Structure 1
Amino acid sequence: MTDDRSGPQAMDSEPMYALEDCDSLPVTGGVLLVAKATGARVTVMQEVAMALQHCAPFRTLDGHARHLVAVFPQLGGNVEDALRVLRHVQDAGLLLPAADICQRVNGPVDANAELDRTVVCIITCDRPAAVERLLESLLRGARLARHKKLYLIDDSREAAHCAANEEAVQRFNLLSPTGMSYIGPVQQQALLGFVIERLPQREEAIRFLLDRSQWQGLASYGRARTLALLLTVGERCIVMDDDVLCAAYRLPQQHGEVTFGNGQREADFFRDTQDWQQQVSPLETDPLAGHGSCLGLNLSAALGALGCETLTPGHLADGNAIWYRDIHAASPVLITQSGSLGDPGTATNGWLPNLQPVSLQRMLRRPGGLFQALSQRHNWLGQPQPTFTKRGSMSQLTGLDNRHVLPPYFPVLRGEDQLFGTMTDILYPDSLSLEYNWSVPHLPLEERRGNGAGDATVPRGGLSLLEGFLSGARCADAGPGVTTRMERLACRLDELAELSTSGLQAQFRTALLRAQALHLQTLGDRLRDSASLDADWQSYLQDNQQACIQAMQEVPGLARLPGVPRGLDEEAIAAGIRSRAAGFGAALRAWQDLRSVSATAAMELFG
C-alpha cells in the first residue's frame, strides 16, 4: 500500500497562515474581530466572520481561499474574491504566520537533563489469561532491566482472578531482571489506609478517588489509572492495558516525517488478525523503550530525537493556530501515545464519521467496504508519522511524565482519558502530547464484533460534557502556576456542584446541543468529501445526519445521560451530578498533598 499524501515539507515553498484566536463583537455594519493575544482588529461582514472560522488551521493563503469556496457554495467558486478578503484580514494582523512559531521553537533552549529509567504499570480487571499473555510478551519483547520498577494494578472483582494474577506476577519475577509488585485489593487497601492516616482532613476526597466501595457496579477505569499515578510520583510512567502485546509494528503508509496534528487519527481496515499481520512490518523497537525515548523531553530535544533538526512551516500544515500559538522550544512532552492494531478499543463503531477522506478511501476500497468495516473490529488506528498534538486521548499504551503534577483521572465512566488530556492541557498550556508512528497489538481474548447496521453516532453526553465545562477554567497566559490552575479547575467544579436542578438541565442541554451541532457539521463535511465515494457510505452519513437533526429538536432531560439508571427522577440525577462534581473538586484540592504522601507510601509499602 502506498502513502496517500505528500509530506509536509512539500508545502514549505509558500508562507502559511492561520486565523488568530479572536473575540467577535457585533458593531454597526458587521462584526469586529479582535485578536486575543495581540489586540489586532478588523471589521468584516457577518458572513465573512463566519467563513473565517474555517481558517483556524495553518494553510497557504491560496489553500484557505480554495477551502472556503469549497465549503461555501454562495462564493460561487470565486477564489480571487476569497483571496482579496484574506489579504485584508492579513494586513490587519489577524493571520498568524506559521514562520513565527517556527522561529520560537527553533530558538535557543537549555539542554534537557538526562532522562532516568521509567516505571511501568499494567492495569487489569478480571482478565487473568490476558495478564498471563502480556507478562510472557514482556519477557520476550522488552528490555526489562531498563525500568526502575514494574507494577500490576489489579482492579478485578473476582477473588479467583486476583489470586491467579498474583501467582502470575510471582512466576514472572523468577525470570525478570526487574521486579514487579502486585497491587491487588489488599495492597490497595493498605495504600488507602496509609494516606488517610496521614491526611485525615482529606479522607472524603481520597475515598472519592481511590475507594472502590464508593463505585459499586461501575467500571472504574480512571481509578486504576489514578493508582498508577500515585505509585509513580516523580517518575516517568508507562501505563499498559492488559490486553495488548509488547511488540511494535509499522504499516507501509507510515513514515518518519514529523507533523503537528489536530488530534484525529487515521485508520485502516482488515478482515481479521491474519490479514493485518500480513500487511505490517514488525520493528525491533521495544515499545516501552520507544515510549521512553521522547517522554519528558522538551520540544526542541524531542524534535531532534525524531530526526527533525529544524521546524519548518510545512510541519504545522493543518495544525490549529489556537493550539500551537504558544508552543516554544522548551514546551514539555508530558504524554506519549502509540497506535493500535486489532480491536480499536472503542465501545461502538460510531467513530467512523470522524475519519478524514484518506482513511475513508482505505475503508471503501477494502473487500466488503462499509459493511465489513461496521461488522468487524480489526483495525489500525494511529498516526502515519510522529505527530504532536495539544492533548492526549485514548491509547492502550501511554507514557506520562509524572515528574510534573499531572491531574487525577475521574474514577469511573468512559472518556476518562480524554478528560485527563484536557485537564493536563489546562494545567500546562504550553505542553504537548506525542503519538509515535508505530502501533502495538490490541487483542482482547473475548470475542468482540461490530454492528453491521452501524451504531448511532449522535452525541448523548457523558464525561465529554464535563470536559467541555472544565475548559472554561482555561487560562492561556503563561503566568499562573499549576497550583493556581488546579484551583481554577476545582472552582469550576464547585460552580457545577452548586447549580440548581434547572441550572444543571440548562447546562446539559446547551453542552449537548453544542456537541450535536459540531457533529452535524462533521457529517456534512464527510458528505461533501465523499461525493464521489460509495453510495452506501453516503446513505449511512445521511441517516446519521437526520438522526442528529432530530435529536437537536428534542429537549433532553438529565435522564438521557449515558449510564443513568432507569427510574430516577431529574432531582435525584441532579443531586448525583452535584455530589460527583463536589467530590472531584475536593479531590483536585487534595491532589498535591496526596501525591506527596503517596510517594512515601509506595516506597514503604511496596519497596
Structure 2
Amino acid sequence: MAPNDFDNSIHDFDTTDDGSGPEPSPELWRHTPFTAFVAGEDTRAVYVRDHLPVLMPSFVVDFALRCTEFRSLPGHIARYAESQAWGSAEIEALRSWQRKLVRAGLFISRTELYTRAAAIRESNATPAKIGVIGFSTAGDRADLLLRALGSFAENVQTHGRAVDFLVADSAVDAGHRGRLRGLAGERAADLGVTLRYLGEQEKRLFATELIRRSQCRPEAVEFALFDPFGAGSAGGANRNALMLHEAGSVLAAVADDVLCELASTDSGDFKLALFSDTDPYDRWVFADRADALEAVSFEPRDYLAEQEKLLGRNLGDLLAGVPVNEVNVRKLGLTFLHLLDSGAARIRTTHLGHAGNPAIPTSSFYAPHKGTERELAAEAEIRYRASFASRGALARLATPSVGDGTVSPGMAIGLDHRELLPPFFPVLPAEDLVFGATMGACCPGALSGHLPLCLRHETNGDNAPLHPGEINRARQGSVFEFSQILRAIMAGHQPATQADTTARMQKLGRYICEFAAQPTLDFREALHRIVLTHESQKIMALEHALFTEIDAPEFWRRDIRDFLDHSRDRMQHEDFDIPYELKAGRTNEENRILMQKLIASYGRLLEDWPAIVAAAWDLRSEGKQFSASAKAD
C-alpha cells in the first residue's frame, strides 16, 4: 500500500473490528514477519526482509509483536494501552509511530494481503481431475473396507464419475490379506468397478524395482513402504504406496472406516477463509453418538467434484471475484505471510471434516476446546461425562478454508501429486500431521484446502477416549504423540527459501539425520527438552483457558485442574519423554532407541524420496504397475 493510501485509511476506525465479520470495515492491519535486534538499552534494530533495518524504541517493537490479528491501528493501540495501563502521553507517543511502522514493512493491511494473494496465478496451472480413490487398511478389517468401498463406489457411479479403486494393505498376517483381497474382489465385481490391490507381496516387488531404478538406499524404500522396526500403525506406509503407485497424478486417499456420506457445514457468512499456524476446525463432542450424527444433515453430493473445487487451484484464481470483506482472515498467521513471499500459492492437498468417531486416543485434545458439552450448565455433568464415553464427535468448518499444513487430517485427503509431494511418516498414529509439516517445509507455495463438508467416520471397537479426570488412573503417562516430537524437530530447521522442492526436502532430511546421529546422551537431552517444551506450552494453554473461560462449569474446571496436576506430576517421572502410543510393549530404553531409529529413517527417506518418486513416475509412464487385480489368492 502506498503512503498516501495509508494516510487516507487511518480515520474513522471502528476499534472493535477484528476482521471476523463480512460487513464493510475500515482498513485492518497486523504485523508482518520481522526480527528485532538489541541496539541499545531501549532501542531495537528491526529487520524486515527486503527492507533496510530501522531503529525503534523497544516499546514500539513490543506493541507490534502484540498485533497478531487484523484490527484497525487505533484498535490495536487501544488494546495495548489498556494492557499496559497507559495514560494519554504514552498513547500519543505510540500513535506517532503508526506511519513509520507501516512504511518500514512491519505491518500489512488486509487489502494489501488480498491484493498480493489475488495476484498469484500460474499460467500453466491445469484443473485437478481425480482418477483414483485409494484405501488404506491393515489387519482383519475386511468388513470395514468392503463397507467403505461400496459407499464410495455408489457415490462415483451416482454422479457419473469413472475412477479406479486401489487398496493398500499393511496386514502382516497372510490369512488376513487373502481374505480381504478375495472379499474385496468379489465386492468390486458386484459393484462393477475396477479394483487393484497392494499387499505385502505386491509392495515387495514394487520396492525391488524402485530400488533398482532409483539407486536409492534399500533401507529408505523399506521404511517408506513397510514397518521394519515393528513400531505399529503403518497407515503412512500405505499412503506412501498409494502415492508412489499414482506418481504424477491426482488421487484421493481415504481410511477404511470412512463412509461416503457428506454433510455441508457451510454457514455462507464468507466466501473463503485464510489461515495458518492454527486449527481452522470447530470441534464438538456429544453425549450420544446419534447426537453427533444428527448435528449435521447428510445429503447427496459428488465427493470427487467437491474435492476438485479446491485441489490444484491457485489462490489467485480462488480469490477472483470475491470481495476483500468476504474473505475471513481472523486465523491468518505469519506462516501464510511467509508463504506469499515464495511467489506461488497452489492447493496441493484437500481435506474434510468428520462426524462420528473422534479418532483420537484421549479427550485431552477436546476438553479445553471451545465447542464441547462442557459449555452446558453445571447440572449437565452427567451428560458431560457421557460425551467422552460416547465416541461421538464433530469436526467442521463454516467456510471453505485455505492455509498451511498446521492441520492436515488424513482421514479423507485429496493429493495433487503432479509435482513432488513429501512422503507420509510411515508408522505410528498422526502421520498426517507430520506430512502437513513436511509439505510446508519442503514445497514452496504449497497450501492445504479444507472444505466445509463432513464425512461419516465409523470404526470398530468400543474403546472410548479418556476424559481428563481418568487420565491419572487409567494410564500413567504424559499425553502427547511421537508426531509432535518430529514436528518440533522440523520446526528448528531453516529451509532454503529460494530452493526448489527437491533441494528443500534433501536439506531437511540431512538436518533430521544429524539430529538423530547425536551421541545417545546428547540425543536424550535434546529429546527431553523437546518434550518439556511441549508439555510446558500445553500447561500454559490450559491455564489460560481456566483464566479466560470464567463462565465454564465447575466440573469442567475441576477436570482441567486435575489434568494440569497430572501433567506436572508426569514431568518428574522417568518415562516423561515416552509418547502415549509407545507406552506399552517396550522398556523406556527400548523406546528411546526406537525413536532415534525412526527419526534417522525419516531423514534418510526425505533425502532419497525425490529419486524414489522419479523412479515410480517412470514406471507408471511406461505402463508398469505392481498392484494386482483384487481376487482370492
TM range (shorter): 0.7 to 0.9
CA contact (8 A) 2:128 2:312 kept: yes
- Could you tell me which amino acid in structure 2 is paired with residue 466 of structure 1? L
- Please give the per-residue CA displacement for 1:432-468, whole angstroms capped at 9, x wherever unaligned: 1111001000011322323353547955462212212
CA contact (8 A) 1:349 1:454 kept: no
Q: Which residue of the partner structure matches residue 259 of structure 1?
A: 273
Q: Distance between the aligned counterparts of 1:145 and 1:314, measured in 2?
A: 33
CA contact (8 A) 1:61 1:83 kept: no
Secondary structure of 2:502's aligned partner: helix
Among 104, 107, 110, the residue aligned to 1:98: 110
- Please tell me whether residue 473 in structure 1 is matched to residue 493 in structure 2: yes
- Could you tell me which amino acid in structure 2 is paired with residue 220 of structure 1? A
**What stretches of structure 1 of length at least 5 have no aligned partner?**
none
Q: Which residue of the partner structure matches residue 382 of structure 1?
A: 396
Q: Distance between the aligned counterparts of 1:434 and 1:371, measured in 2?
A: 34
Deviation of the 1:573 alpha carbon? 5.5
Greater shift, 535-544 or 438-447, is seen at: 535-544
Change (3 A) 1:580 1:279: closer
- Please tell me whether residue 594 in structure 1 is matched to residue 609 in structure 2: no
Correspondence 1:493-508 to 2 at 5 A: 493-508=512-527
Among 278, 297, 301, the residue aligned to 2:294: 278
Secondary structure of 2:259's aligned partner: coil
Calculate the TM-score normalised by the size of structure 1: 0.87
Among 131, 154, 159, the residue aligned to 1:140: 154
Q: Which residue of the partner structure matches residue 20 of structure 1?
A: 32
Correspondence 1:530-569 to 2 at 5 A: 530-550=549-569, 563=582, 568=587
Q: Distance between the aligned counterparts of 2:109 and 2:174, measured in 1?
A: 59
- Please tell me whether residue 10 in structure 1 is matched to residue 22 in structure 2: yes
Q: Which residue of the partner structure matches residue 57 of structure 1?
A: 69
Q: Distance between the aligned counterparts of 2:559 and 2:91, measured in 1?
A: 33
Q: Which residue of the partner structure matches residue 417 of structure 1?
A: 432
Q: Distance between the aligned counterparts of 1:384 and 1:195, measured in 2?
A: 43
- Please give the per-residue CA displacement for 1:454-496, whole angstroms capped at 9, x wherever unaligned: 547955462212212112333373x211121012111202211
Change (3 A) 1:158 1:87: farther
CA contact (8 A) 1:18 1:320 kept: no
- Could you tell me which amino acid in structure 2 is paired with residue 323 of structure 1? F
Change (3 A) 1:272 1:160: farther
Among 144, 152, 169, the residue aligned to 1:130: 144
Deviation of the 1:65 alpha carbon? 4.8
Deviation of the 1:593 alpha carbon? 1.8
CA contact (8 A) 1:505 1:557 kept: no
Q: Which residue of the partner structure matches residue 187 of structure 1?
A: 202
Q: Which residue of the partner structure matches residue 527 of structure 1?
A: 546
Change (3 A) 1:566 1:463: same
- Please tell me whether residue 34 in structure 1 is matched to residue 46 in structure 2: yes
Q: Distance between the aligned counterparts of 2:86 and 2:22, measured in 1?
A: 25
Q: Which residue of the partner structure matches residue 285 of structure 2?
A: 269
Change (3 A) 1:483 1:79: farther
Q: Which residue of the partner structure matches residue 333 of structure 1?
A: 347
Q: Which residue of the partner structure matches residue 198 of structure 1?
A: 213
Secondary structure of 1:316's aligned partner: strand
- Could you tell me which amino acid in structure 2 is paired with residue 224 of structure 1? N
Secondary structure of 1:524's aligned partner: helix
Secondary structure of 1:582's aligned partner: helix
- Could you tell me which amino acid in structure 2 is paired with residue 59 of structure 1? R
Secondary structure of 1:315's aligned partner: strand
Deviation of the 1:28 alpha carbon? 3.0
Q: Distance between the aligned counterparts of 1:364 and 1:79, measured in 2?
A: 42
Q: Which residue of the partner structure matches residue 323 of structure 1?
A: 336
- Could you tell me which amino acid in structure 2 is paired with residue 346 of structure 1? I
Q: Which residue of the partner structure matches residue 234 of structure 1?
A: 248
Greater shift, 137-146 or 230-239, is seen at: 137-146
Deviation of the 1:370 alpha carbon? 3.2
Change (3 A) 1:106 1:196: closer
CA contact (8 A) 2:377 2:553 kept: no
Greater shift, 83-92 or 279-288, is seen at: 83-92
Change (3 A) 1:161 1:275: same
Q: Distance between the aligned counterparts of 2:91 and 2:538, measured in 1?
A: 26
Deviation of the 1:196 alpha carbon? 2.8
CA contact (8 A) 2:361 2:466 kept: no
- Please give the per-residue CA displacement for 1:267-308, whole angstroms capped at 9, x wherever unaligned: 23333333234332223322233112221111123345xxx6
Deviation of the 1:133 alpha carbon? 1.1
Secondary structure of 1:146's aligned partner: coil
Secondary structure of 1:173's aligned partner: helix
Change (3 A) 1:547 1:323: farther
**What stretches of structure 2 of length at least 5 have no aligned partner?**
1-16, 629-633
CA contact (8 A) 1:338 1:398 kept: yes
Q: Distance between the aligned counterparts of 1:182 and 1:534, measured in 2?
A: 51
Change (3 A) 1:498 1:110: closer
Q: Distance between the aligned counterparts of 1:83 and 1:252, measured in 2?
A: 43
Greater shift, 86-95 or 549-558, is seen at: 549-558
Correspondence 1:309-458 to 2 at 5 A: 309-312=322-325, 315-327=328-340, 330-353=344-367, 355=369, 357=370, 359-360=371-372, 363-364=375-376, 368-391=382-405, 392-452=407-467, 453-455=469-471
Deviation of the 1:399 alpha carbon? 0.8
- Could you tell me which amino acid in structure 1 is paired with residue 285 of structure 2? F
Q: Which residue of the partner structure matches residue 157 of structure 1?
A: 172
Deviation of the 1:509 alpha carbon? 2.4
Change (3 A) 1:86 1:409: farther
Secondary structure of 1:588's aligned partner: helix
Corresponding residue pairs, total: 591
Calculate the TM-score normalised by the size of structure 2: 0.83
- Could you tell me which amino acid in structure 1 is paired with residue 358 of structure 2? P
Q: Distance between the aligned counterparts of 1:31 and 1:537, measured in 2?
A: 45
Change (3 A) 1:229 1:40: same
- Could you tell me which amino acid in structure 2 is paired with residue 316 of structure 1? V
Change (3 A) 1:317 1:101: same
CA contact (8 A) 2:46 2:55 kept: yes
Q: Distance between the aligned counterparts of 1:426 and 1:281, measured in 2?
A: 37
Q: Distance between the aligned counterparts of 2:112 and 2:353, measured in 1?
A: 31
Deviation of the 1:517 alpha carbon? 2.6
- Could you tell me which amino acid in structure 1 is paired with residue 533 of structure 2? R
Deviation of the 1:256 alpha carbon? 5.7
Q: CA RMSD in A?
A: 3.4
